[in-house]
């Protein structure tokens, strides 16, 4: 036995490092809900300890983990807690963290059924659950990917395949040179990952036919150009700033008649469809051809977890298929036919666990709660002079600004420095804004009020500074 092999068997036998990590994890969980949401400057400075040459000699496992925990834990952002409102991040449902831990030990790659019967089974089951939850066509396929970026990419790849195939053009064989034309139509507020996918797939961002949006960020239906079967129309469930939803009911009916491919980027917003009181927002999505949605945002699975759903199973498989003499295809589900990767981790373990744990009622309750907290935030912030809410809070997003771009920028900077909560900025119809995204199961009413107080303090600091300058 080699020295390093012997050492590794010892780690397994004595379990010390696993207990050590367990302890670190529990310590982390105990503090993360109430600590500074963003790491301190000092903690970040200390990250310089990692700047070292790769050592020649092996380091003890305890030492490796100790360094990771000591310097790493304080420099995480507290996205697991209730006062992280940046991007659309989402916490993690506890059972998901626990299941992921078990899944870590299993170390499965659900590429093929023979590689992981459990992974394959859970994927097949959750595919059915998704179809039912979002009321999608019964033959819809699901691919379990790293996030909506990849889900958008896969969807548009399927669209590209199908549109060209209808013209007797196999894009996998012939590529795009001299291919029949594909038209791409989307709103001016489309998420940049949609544009990235269009770029990667060779559809060309310059070829996009842009549709203007109304002051909520929704595509103006009347301004969608005449569609035909060479079109990919990309809609949005959840505008990344305002949380607004396109009018799927009207748009999809018309686009479907024209035989256009309709893709819906519903990274965080598609989940509104699983909530009784919010379902009206996603009305009509069942008429689309593909959908992209994240587990790791609104559903609060751990990162990385996205789902690509496609009503045209054949197109999806044709776009992502691979084979080889050593591949074992089974009667059961082989996950790699629905994802760009062959090997990938079995993220389905967390996704299945969280869906089973919550059930339909729990999903409904958790997501409705996020909506209510967003409403609460908007109400409380409007009670403070100097803050304005720029959007209709239809889901989980609140767009806030102050009296001028400069004040908004400085106040945001103060909020971030106070570390009581964290959020980012954006631009909304030419104005600098603060973007509050409420998507953690852990956010309480008190978290909202505490955060609003931090906004107030940040504004007071800015007004104080202005007085001094004058």
Ligand X SMILES: *Cc1c(COP(=O)(O)O)cnc(C)c1O
* DSSP label at residue 207: G
The CA distances from residue 144 to 101, 307, 316, 470, in Å, are 18, 5, 13, 57
For residues 299 and 358, what is the distance between their CA atoms, to the nearest angstrom?
10
Q: What is the CA radius of gyration of the chain?
A: 24
Q: Supply 340's token pair.
A: 């760009």
* 192 Cβ contact partners less than 8 Å away, ≥ 6 residues apart: none
Q: Is 267 in the site for ligand X (CB under 6 A)?
A: yes
Instruction: Kindly tell me which of 200 and 328 has the beta carbon lying closer to ligand X.
Output: 200
Question: Is residue 336 classed exposed, middle or buried when 0-12, 13-18 and 19+ CB atoms within 10 A define those classes?
Answer: buried
Q: Is 265 in the site for ligand X (CB under 6 A)?
A: yes
Instruction: Kindly tell me which of 149 and 186 has the beta carbon lying closer to ligand X.
Output: 149
Q: Is 86 in the site for ligand X (CB under 6 A)?
A: no
Q: Whole-number minimum distance, CB 126 to ligand X, in Å?
A: 17
Instruction: Kindly tell me which of 294 and 312 has the beta carbon lying closer to ligand X.
Output: 294
* 25 Cβ contact partners less than 8 Å away, ≥ 6 residues apart: none
Q: Restricting to residues 445-464, name those near ligand X by CB under 6 A.
A: none
| Interface segment toward ligand X; rule CB under 6 A; list 97-105, 246-254, 264-272, 355-363 | 264-272
Q: Is 88 in the site for ligand X (CB under 6 A)?
A: yes
Q: Is 217 in the site for ligand X (CB under 6 A)?
A: no
Q: What are phi and psi of 238, to 5 degrees?
A: 105, 90
* CB contact at 8 A, 222 and 249: no
Q: Identify the residue among 158, 159, 213, 240 touching ligand X (CB under 6 A).
A: 240
Instruction: Kindly tell me which of 305 and 458 has the beta carbon lying closer to ligand X.
Output: 305
| Interface segment toward ligand X; rule CB under 6 A; list 178-186, 263-271, 452-460, 461-469 | 263-271
For residues 425 and 410, what is the distance between their CA atoms, to the nearest angstrom?
11
Q: Is 339 in the site for ligand X (CB under 6 A)?
A: no
Site size for ligand X (CB under 6 A): 13
Instruction: Kindly tell me which of 154 and 267 has the beta carbon lying closer to ligand X.
Output: 267
Q: Identify the residue among 81, 82, 306, 335 touching ligand X (CB under 6 A).
A: 306
Q: Whole-number minimum distance, CB 193 to ligand X, in Å?
A: 4
Q: Whole-number minimum distance, CB 279 to ligand X, in Å?
A: 19
| Interface segment toward ligand X; rule CB under 6 A; list 95-103, 170-178, 265-273, 409-417 | 265-273
Q: Restricting to residues 137-166, name those near ligand X by CB under 6 A.
A: 147-149
For residues 347 and 99, what is the distance between their CA atoms, to the nearest angstrom?
10
Q: Whole-number minimum distance, CB 198 to ligand X, in Å?
A: 13
| Closest residue to ligand X: CB criterion | 147
Q: Supply 106's token pair.
A: 């299993």
Q: Identify the residue among 238, 273, 335, 425 touching ligand X (CB under 6 A).
A: 238
Q: Whole-number minimum distance, CB 24 to ligand X, in Å?
A: 27
Instruction: Kindly tell me which of 141 and 149 has the beta carbon lying closer to ligand X.
Output: 149
Instruction: Kindly tell me which of 267 and 366 has the beta carbon lying closer to ligand X.
Output: 267
Q: Is 396 in the site for ligand X (CB under 6 A)?
A: no
Q: Supply 116's token pair.
A: 């992981």
CA-based nearest residue to 225, from 208, 238, 204: 208
Place of tokens 């059924």: 113
Q: Restricting to residues 189-208, name those near ligand X by CB under 6 A.
A: 191, 193
Instruction: Kindly tell me which of 302 and 306 has the beta carbon lying closer to ligand X.
Output: 306
Q: Whole-number minimum distance, CB 429 to ligand X, in Å?
A: 18
The CA distances from residue 158 to 115, 126, 170, 257, in Å, are 25, 21, 12, 19
For residues 79 and 28, what is the distance between their CA atoms, to the nearest angstrom?
12
Q: Is 370 in the site for ligand X (CB under 6 A)?
A: no
Q: What are phi and psi of 435, to 5 degrees?
A: -110, 110
Place of tokens 């998704």: 130
Instruction: Kindly tell me which of 48 and 192 has the beta carbon lying closer to ligand X.
Output: 192
Relative orientation angle of helices 148-166 and 192-200, to the nearest 10 degrees: 50
Q: Is 294 in the site for ligand X (CB under 6 A)?
A: yes
For residues 375 and 378, what is the distance between their CA atoms, to the nearest angstrom?
5
Q: What is the contact surface with ligand X in residues (CB under 6 A)?
A: 88, 147-149, 191, 193, 238, 240, 265, 267-268, 294, 306
């Amino acid at each position: 036995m080699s020295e390093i092999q012997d050492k590794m068997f010892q780690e397994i036998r004595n379990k010390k490092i696993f207990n050590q990590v367990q302890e670190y994890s529990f310590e982390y969980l105990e503090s993360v809900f109430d600590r500074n949401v963003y790491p301190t400057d000092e903690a970040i400075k200390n990250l310089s300890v990692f700047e070292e040459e790769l050592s020649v000699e092996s380091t003890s496992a305890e030492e490796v983990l100790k360094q990771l925990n000591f310097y790493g834990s304080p420099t995480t952002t507290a996205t697991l807690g209730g006062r992280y409102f940046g991007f659309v991040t989402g916490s993690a449902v506890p059972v998901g963290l626990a299941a992921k831990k078990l899944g870590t030990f299993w170390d499965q790659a659900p590429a093929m059924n023979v590689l992981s019967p459990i992974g394959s089974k859970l994927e097949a089951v959750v595919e059915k659950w998704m179809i039912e939850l979002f009321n999608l066509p019964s033959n819809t396929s699901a691919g379990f990917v790293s996030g909506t970026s990849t889900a958008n990419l896969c969807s548009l790849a399927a669209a590209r395949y199908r549109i060209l195939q209808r013209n007797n053009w196999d894009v996998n064989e012939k590529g795009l040179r001299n291919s029949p034309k594909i038209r791409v139509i989307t709103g001016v507020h489309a998420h940049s990952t949609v544009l990235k996918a269009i770029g990667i797939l060779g559809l060309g961002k310059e070829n996009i036919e842009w549709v203007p949006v109304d002051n909520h960020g929704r595509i103006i239906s009347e301004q969608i150009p005449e569609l035909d079967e060479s079109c990919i129309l990309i809609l949005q469930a959840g505008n990344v700033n305002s949380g607004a939803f396109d009018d799927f009911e009207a748009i999809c009916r018309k686009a479907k008649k024209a035989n256009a491919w309709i893709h819906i980027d519903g990274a965080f917003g598609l989940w509104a469809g699983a909530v009784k009181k919010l379902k009206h927002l996603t009305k009509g999505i069942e008429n689309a051809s593909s959908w992209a949605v994240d587990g790791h945002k609104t559903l609060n699975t751990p990162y990385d977890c996205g789902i690509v759903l496609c009503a045209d199973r054949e197109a999806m498989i044709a776009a992502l298929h691979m084979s080889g003499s050593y591949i074992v295809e089974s009667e059961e589900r082989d996950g790699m036919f629905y994802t760009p990767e062959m090997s990938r981790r079995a993220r389905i373990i967390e996704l299945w666990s969280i869906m089973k744990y919550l059930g339909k009622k729990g999903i409904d309750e958790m997501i409705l709660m996020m909506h209510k907290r967003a409403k609460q935030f908007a109400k409380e912030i409007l009670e403070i002079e100097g803050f304005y809410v720029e959007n209709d809070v239809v889901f989980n997003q609140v767009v806030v600004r102050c009296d001028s771009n400069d004040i908004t920028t400085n106040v945001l900077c103060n909020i971030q420095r106070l570390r009581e909560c964290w959020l980012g900025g954006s631009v909304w119809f030419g104005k600098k804004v603060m973007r509050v995204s409420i998507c953690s199961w852990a956010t309480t009413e008190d978290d909202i009020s505490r955060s609003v107080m931090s906004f107030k303090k940040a504004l007071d600091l800015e007004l104080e500074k202005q007085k001094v300058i004058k």
